[in-house]
Amino acid sequence: MYDNGTTTGARLRMLRKWRKKSLVELAGQAGVSKSFLSMVERGERALDRRSHIAAIARALQVSEADLVGGPHLSHDPVQSGPYAYVPALRVALETNSLTSAATDHARPLPDLLEDVAKVDALTAASDYLAIGRMLPGIIDELHVHIAAPADEQQMRRALEALIEACRFAVTPLKELGHPDLAHLAAVRAAEAGVVLGDPVQQGKADFLRVQTMPREGSWDRTLRAAEQAADRMQPHLAEPGAVPVCGMLTLTAALAAASVHNNAGAAHWLREAADLAKRVSDDMTANWAAFSTTNVGIWNVAIAVERGEVGGAVLDLAGRVREDKALARPSRYVSMMADVGRGLAREKTSRHQAIGWLRRAETAAPQRVRNSPLIRETVAVLLNQQLLAAGGRELRGMAARMGLPH
């Protein structure tokens, strides 16, 4: 579904009427208030919490994509450009297997490993277009080294690199509206982890599996899977690279707990993550998936926004994150700026500040921000609230780049 115009509120009203549900009935089934649903339908409130989206989609018996729309293709080449490489990623993931490569050509493995490191840097910059140019070929060639390895050591190095390549594919594919391909990348990583038989590599694959689980009515399953994976890592924390992997699993468990309104569970897993972060350097460039004390602080902001925090509370949490540390991994800092903007947008007295945070995020990572369904929804609602005196021009510019009516 390519949807460039309809708002989430309009889609919600259409789907609710299609299912012949009243506002009261749908609100009861989704566990939200009638007034909240009514404001969403009128474009006065953003439907930007993961738990709300999942609950409403489940109650309507539709997918999240049906509810929030997408992919959203605009005339802006920065926003729409990354979509051009989705077909190549699909081919690479669907035509290769660990026992049968789809091509017989591959560069030497050291050259491929250098390219994997380059994609890691591109991921840090949220450069989806450059990732899309490089990643399909890397995935193809790694499968050649796995299916017909020169020796076992080469195969293991290629399998480990494939897990990383799949990790780099997951976030862009999810943001671009292709959760099926993101899940396929996670499945391929899991297959590689099984062959390796290494608990740290299997933990990395578990992280991807949890990240790509369907959300409609399954946040409780996501929580359970993340908790189980984190528990499996506990006996192996002394092994090289294990602590950051376990840390990322605990952060995912915290977000999932917040999404099922288990605030005690979210707080527990955040404490676990903070304790693990003390065991590694607070340098997001040094640890797997940027796990660090600074990253725990960034996730804390995201989890607070998921819990429904607004205004000053969100700003206070963001203020505890050291900007110099966060900027070492720009994609993570952008995530925090966007989350702060979303939190500020929920409160009338702080909406004018939200625009500045969202624009900063867009300037730093335009491809990511312009393709984020949650940010798109916030911008659409802010625009609908007609904040002309406090940034209407900025909002209209962002809306145009996202393909929103403005």
Mean pLDDT by 10 residues, the chain (406 residues): 60 91 93 91 87 88 80 82 94 97 96 98 96 97 96 97 98 91 97 98 98 82 96 97 98 95 95 98 95 97 93 93 94 95 91 92 94 89 66 74 74
pLDDT of res. 216: 63
Q: How far apart are CA 358 and CA 367, in angstroms?
A: 13
Token readout for 357 is: 């945070």
| CA-wise closest residue to 164 among 138, 130, 194 | 138
Name the CATH architecture for the domain at 1-70. Orthogonal Bundle (1.10)
Q: For residues 325 and 322, give the distance between their C-alpha atoms in angstroms, rounded to a whole number.
A: 5
- Listed by start position, the domains of the chain span 1-70, 75-212, 316-406
Residue 217: predicted pLDDT: 60
- The answer to whether the pTM exceeds 0.95 is no
At 68 the pLDDT is: 82
d(CA 242, CA 263): 26
Amino acid present at 225: A
What is the amino acid identity at position 349? T
Q: What is the DSSP letter of 1?
A: -
Residue 102 corresponds to which tokens in the numbers above? 């789809």
What is the model's pLDDT at position 2? 41
Alpha carbon distance 144, 29 (integer Å): 50
Dist CA 245 CA 289 (whole Å): 8
User: How does DSSP assign 172-186, residue by residue?
Assistant: HHHHTT-HHHHHHHH
22: which residues sit within 8 A by CB, 6+ positions away? none
Q: Measured between alpha carbons, how far is 359 from 337 in angstroms, rounded to an integer?
A: 9
Amino acid (1-letter code) at residue 197: G
Backbone dihedral region of 21: left (phi > 0), alpha (psi from -120 to 50 degrees) or beta? beta
Q: Residue 144's pLDDT is what?
A: 97
| Rg from Cα positions in the chain | 21
SS3 of 381, please?
helix
CB of 270 closer than 8 Å to CB of 296: yes
Which pLDDT score, from 0 to 100, does residue 71 have? 67
Kindly tell me the sign of the dihedral angle through the C-alpha atoms of 82, 83, 88, 91. positive
- By CB atoms closer than 10 A (0-12, 13-18, 19+), residue 230 is buried
3-state secondary structure of 398: helix
Burial of 20 (C-beta count, 10 Å sphere; 0-12/13-18/19+): exposed
- Cβ proximity of 150 and 183 under 8 Å: no
User: What does DSSP assign to residue 261?
Assistant: T
